[in-house]
Structure 1
């Protein structure tokens, strides 16, 4: 079962609906992160950049932007979105097909981002370790790594009784989540009306995992990161019931 093919047509609107507004997300990055912790930010690397929704706002704010994603379909949509912004001028951004656990861009950045709990798509702890190591190697001294996760608490809550439906005209997208071992699987069902009037079902699966916050903290410190903040994105104060958590880390 393939991922991010048919679902990509609905992806941006659904992701926005499941998370905070894009405006709030950008304000958080610009003011709570960049303005707060970086005296000067020239270039940004976004890992798992997806379709470029965050990229678009960062480029509009004047940042030099590089986006990396493992999915060619995502990058194609991102390129289309960003080209429309820059009217074909690609000087302000660069998009790269690559794996965020194994990349070598031969460049250091002021800020590395990984938004919308994208790190959770790495299904092994070894891949998370590689992610931290690669990020460290691509940061300038004093640069920031900023990423968010869905916590284990959040995933466990979702799998208890979860189904969401999104209507797009005559088409419907249904999201369900199931737990298989330590992996949480999103089952995506897309019901599309055909010219005949019948409906065709498309199915895709997206897999995610999470790890304990203390284990993540120890691994970051092991990789010589200073943890500046761990934030409950919705409420600020981290608790045992936090659902979405941001890590703000500085390269020593």
Structure 2
């Protein structure tokens, strides 16, 4: 990104497809440091309660796309629900496995993990509930990406199973931000393996690609001590509600509920997160012959 410090690390996709390097970095880099990820989203609990309640009501097993290092996976397992977690990040899955090793045996035994691309991985199993939490859907950057993911999700659902996922509502003010301006936030202590960490200044830059509808975010970290700066990129496709409803419809899903901010309320102009509940459409029954 223009004016940003070098990325700390990036890695290529395991899908075997050649993709835009900027998108590759924006898909993977944010998930390479599990300790930072866990600290950053520790207070994000509304979605955890929402998905755990759905998992318990479904009685499991649950397929979770984008399980990461277990922010939702572990509470589901502690609530007695079996799940299979899929993620592309080896670092996040490694951290989740380490956490499972510290859980009671009955909790750990409820979780199965697979590393893979949610657009292509086939498990050969069906689930009454498939979830794709916390904007993982926003890493589907093209129509083809969406179609491949929805095809895999449909293959993994029982006949009346439910796919539930959340996406952030596009915010015009955020999309219109000057990409050359750095937006500062309060400094904080970046976590480290020794438990101490370093105090850093943190800024963000936003660059919206209007043609591809992709928001690129540069998360910039500058140690107060004067050490080396680094930048972590993040890329999120922006889906508008009517656009996403059409994509679901033309890929064989019916929308059964559209909710706002992990509540039962319908969306309105104040909505931040949209939660989609959908099921595979049943084939139309042939009508009776006349005469």
State TM-score, norm by structure 2: 0.73
Q: Which runs of 5+ in 1 are unaligned?
A: none
Greater share of residues in strand: 1
Larger radius of gyration: 2
Q: Distance in 1 between matches of 2:151 and 2:270?
A: 28
Q: In the alignment, what sits opposite 1:47?
A: 65
Structure 2: tracts of 5 or more residues without a match = 1-6, 11-28, 190-196, 282-291
- Larger % of helix: which? 1
The equivalent of 1:99 in structure 2 is 117
- Note closer, same or farther for the CA distance 1:199–1:42 as it changes in structure 2 (3 Å cut): same
Aligned partners of 1:158 and 1:177 also within 8 Å: no
1:111 to 129, 137, 145: 129
Alignment match, 1:204? 232
The range that moved more, 201-210 or 134-143, is 201-210
Question: How many residue pairs were aligned?
Answer: 240
The structure-2 alpha-carbon separation of the partners of 1:218 and 1:249, relative to structure 1 and needing over 3 Å to count, comes to same
Q: Which residue matches 2:275?
A: 246
Asked if structure 1 preserves the Cα contact closer than 8 Å seen for 2:188 and 2:201, the reply is yes
Superposition pairs for residues 140-151 of structure 1, below 5 Å? 140-151=158-169
1:1-39 Cα offsets, whole Å, 9 max, x none, are 42147643311121345xxx32x32322244x456xx5x
Residue 56 of structure 1 aligns with which residue?
74
Change (3 A) 1:165 1:184: farther
| TM superposition outliers: structure 1 runs of 4+ over 4 Å | 87-90
Residue in 1 that maps onto 2:94: 76
* Alignment CA distance shift 1:6-1:166 (3 Å): farther
What is the CA distance between 1:143 and its match in structure 2? 0.8
Q: TM-score, normalised by structure 1?
A: 0.84
Residue equivalent to 2:241: 213
Shift in Å, 1:188? 1.9
CA RMSD of aligned residues (A): 2.6
Bigger mean CA offset, 108-117 vs 172-181: 172-181
